[in-house]
Structure 1
Amino acid sequence: MSASVSGMDRWPVPLRLDGDRWATRRMEKRVLAVVHTVAAGQRVVDAVRLLDADPRVQVMFTAAPDVFSHGVAGFLEGLRGLVVPWSQAVNVRFDLALAASHGSLYELHAPVIVLPHGVGHNKFVSVPTNRRGPGVTAGEREVYGLSRQRLVRDGVVVPKVIVLSHEEELTRLGRACPEALPFAEVIGDPCFDRMTASLPSRARYREALRIGANQALVLACSTWGPDALLGQQWDLLDRLVTELPRDQFRIAVLLHPNVWSAHGDWQVQSWFAGLRRAGVLLVSQYADWCGPLVAADFIVGDHGSVSLYGTMTGAPVLMAGSPTVELAPGSPMVELRSIAPRIHADRPLRGQLRQAAAAPRAEHHARVAARITSEPGHFARRMRALIYRELRLPAPAAQLPVEPAPLPVTVTGEAADGVTS
């Protein structure tokens, strides 16, 4: 790396050639947290926090290029970390990089650990024209997160470690990209562990959302894209408001951060203005979604990951969105869609909710939830051991407890405890 004196002034202190002159502590290791999207950033932070209380390590953040990068700047500002522009990040060596998406990682000069930012590797995505390798034809698709087209560049596996949540994903990865299999490790799922820790706090989350003692919370969850609940069934949100008595039901909506990224905060809030006036809660894209999920009495979801985590709560999970969206065969979402009742447009919603609540589901939901991770409760321990192994540092002896999710935050108004509604 070379730079003029004036150009060097624009580099963060830990990356400057004369950084030791300005830094209060000399760091032993530099870790780069790579944030492609808000959703990916939330998962990266789950890993970065495992470095808390270690004065040997300097963590820096960077926003990697991505089609859903809008919103990342606000996310990073909220973290108040040291942000390195991508143009600088790709010209400096780091001891380790952490990411939860795959784009442009080959540009980095660091061993990279890649985490999943969802659960189950359920979705197909089209292979971009500029990444079609030998034997890959036009129109061919891949399972996101497991495919050769995203894991391999110029014949080399890009990540140093590919983090998986469940043992069964090893088999699926071996079929999709056998050369990546030696780089995969089953570590666990931080959201599963946080959900488990949050379940006993259900009453606190309901109080924060101002759910009355005699009210049932219906949480509508939409992933992104035209096949999602929001893309297919906006009228379902209107029906939830008009058909469910407000004194008995409260409606909340949880949107994938990519929805906010694609359309912008102003536009999303504008679309929901009428629903918010009718009492609908809109969960912030920056909020931890575990709290609202734990608080829900009914979960109306689609093929997004939140629906799968909903099977941990005991609440009925009903399916919306496109019924024809194609998912990876054998994935957890395929199993959930085979057992969860589907919302019907020609039937009263209250009756459908009542029927879903009365139907046996505990055994079916437990089977799906067990497919989220084969290392329940162990993500923090295993992930921290992996990070320190790659940093070639002894890990701190103190164990990190799994904390419950913070109180939920919505996007409008003011409420007690800093929660808006």
Structure 2
Amino acid sequence: MSREMWIRGPVGAGAEARVTRAGCRTALVVVPTMTAGTRLLDIVPLLESDHRVQLVFTVPHTTDQWPGVEEFVRAQHGLLMPWEQAVHHTFDLVLAASHRHLEQLRGPILLVGHGAGTMKSHLYSRKAETPVLPATGLDRELLTYRGRILPSVLALATEEERAALGSLCPEALPVATVVGDICLDRMIDGGRFREHYRQTLGLNPRRRLVTISSTWSTDSIFGRVPSLCRAVLEALPSSRYSVAAVLHPNVWTVHGRRQVTAWLSDCVEAGLRLIPPDRGWQATMIASDWVIGDHGSTTAYAAAIGCPVTLAAGPSDRLRPGSIADLVRENAPILEPGPLRFQEAEAIRRQERLSSVAGAAISSRPGRAAGILRSAMYRLVGLPEPDCPPSIPMLPAPLPIEV
């Protein structure tokens, strides 16, 4: 992209003649994938209302760019700066939820995980053609570049992750901070709006919501059992149950919104609440009475907030021992042929133990992530932190896709 295509925004040469709010610190929000973007949207409210700060978004342009990400950012109405322009500017703060392209950015980086836990649940990288070495989100090759530690603050979810970092990349320990999990904190806090979310989904107090939760890849529910939504719809009496589906953003990104909607159009016509990838999955989990899921983060979050969970798919031999997905697998029942009402009852029976295990595995700082993250952000951006406690907006209500 030529410089003629760069935006005339609040940073760069001549910015002082364009801005209305002068002297703002600039924070860059890096969105290489929709998954990273949705996590960063949990964090940016901690900073963006401050009149001393200007947020700018960018989507990396590379040869393996994920489609639809720019449209996702534009739908949030953030100021979108071309990647080629962003890498030429030095920012006061860089917010990232992915390891991708960090070495090209200028400014102190706050790096957070984009799912449940900073470490991966898969034993091996999904990108590897043959599994050789176990992969985590804390490996040296992800956190360093030419001997330089990339993040200025590495936000970890648990003390166990800090211990793992000491073995995998000990030179990053000085920048590591255990912050907990802001997504889980928001979902727990959002429990007080459960009835509002249920009303948005068209549920009366007597109707139970069963949600199918699928991650991406061929070993997910949607990869292995694409007919499950239809089967659950047919097995449960529509007078007492409603069914929703939450699919990982990568399902939508790789296959396209039109195609995914077409694949599930018969189910939507039969009453399935199909939740879009960019809005409402957290609220849907809060509204749910039973989740049928797999090894993905969404299923783990549902378990952690106390929703009964049954597993219908998963990479049985490829989960990292002790990972969040592995712990969920050990404590949740497996979906079997037979009446669903008995399996729902079994999930309810095992819910309390599962919730305790999943919650502890996801966060060592329950309820504290917003405060710890905000303090780190203000330290990096070089401004005094506001006196008032951090305020997090209500989670967006789910708006199911129509066909």
- Is the structural similarity TM-score above 0.5? yes
Which residue is 2:56 aligned to? 60
CA distance in 1, matches of 2:221, 2:350: 25
Which residue is 1:186 aligned to? 178
Alpha-carbon deviation of 1:177? 2.1
Q: 1:355 aligns with which of 334, 338, 346?
A: 346
The percentage of counterpart residues that share the same residue type is: 35
Alpha-carbon deviation of 1:279? 0.5
TM-score (norm 1): 0.89
- Alignment partner of 1:235 is 2:227: yes
The Cα offsets for residues 241-274 of structure 1, whole Å up to 9 and x where unpaired, read as 1111111111100011111111111111111111
Letter in 2 for 1:348: P
CA distance in 1, matches of 2:126, 2:173: 20
Letter in 2 for 1:328: R
The change in CA–CA distance for 1:55 and 1:253 in structure 2 (over 3 A counts) is: same
Alpha-carbon deviation of 1:325? 4.7
CA distance in 1, matches of 2:317, 2:295: 8
The Cα offsets for residues 211-247 of structure 1, whole Å up to 9 and x where unpaired, read as 2333211000001111111001112222101111111
Aligned Cα RMSD in Å?
Answer: 2.2
The change in CA–CA distance for 1:73 and 1:276 in structure 2 (over 3 A counts) is: same
Structure 2: tracts of 5 or more residues without a match: none
Which residue is 2:42 aligned to? 46
Alpha-carbon deviation of 1:313? 3.5
CA distance in 2, matches of 1:164, 1:155: 21
CA distance in 2, matches of 1:325, 1:234: 21
The Cα offsets for residues 300-348 of structure 1, whole Å up to 9 and x where unpaired, read as 111111111112343310012235251222222211110100112x323
Which residue is 1:370 aligned to? 360
CA distance in 1, matches of 2:79, 2:89: 15
Q: Is the CA contact 2:331–2:353 (under 8 Å) kept in the aligned structure 1?
A: no
Which residue is 2:396 aligned to? 406
- Alignment partner of 1:18 is 2:14: yes
Q: Is the CA contact 1:62–1:89 (under 8 Å) kept in the aligned structure 2?
A: yes
Q: 1:214 aligns with which of 206, 211, 226?
A: 206
4+ runs deviating over 6 angstroms: none
Structure 1: tracts of 5 or more residues without a match: 130-136, 414-421
Alpha-carbon deviation of 1:8? 5.7
Which residue is 2:147 aligned to? 155
The change in CA–CA distance for 1:109 and 1:258 in structure 2 (over 3 A counts) is: same
Which residue is 1:126 aligned to? 125
The change in CA–CA distance for 1:403 and 1:109 in structure 2 (over 3 A counts) is: closer
Q: How many residues align?
A: 400
CA distance in 2, matches of 1:9, 1:388: 32
CA distance in 2, matches of 1:384, 1:148: 26
Q: Is the CA contact 1:127–1:149 (under 8 Å) kept in the aligned structure 2?
A: no
CA distance in 2, matches of 1:138, 1:177: 24
Which residue is 1:304 aligned to? 296
Q: 1:99 aligns with which of 93, 96, 99?
A: 96
CA distance in 1, matches of 2:127, 2:148: 18
Q: 2:164 aligns with which of 169, 172, 197?
A: 172
Which residue is 1:416 aligned to? none
CA distance in 2, matches of 1:350, 1:138: 41
TM-score (norm 2): 0.93
Letter in 2 for 1:319: L
Q: Is the CA contact 1:61–1:81 (under 8 Å) kept in the aligned structure 2?
A: yes
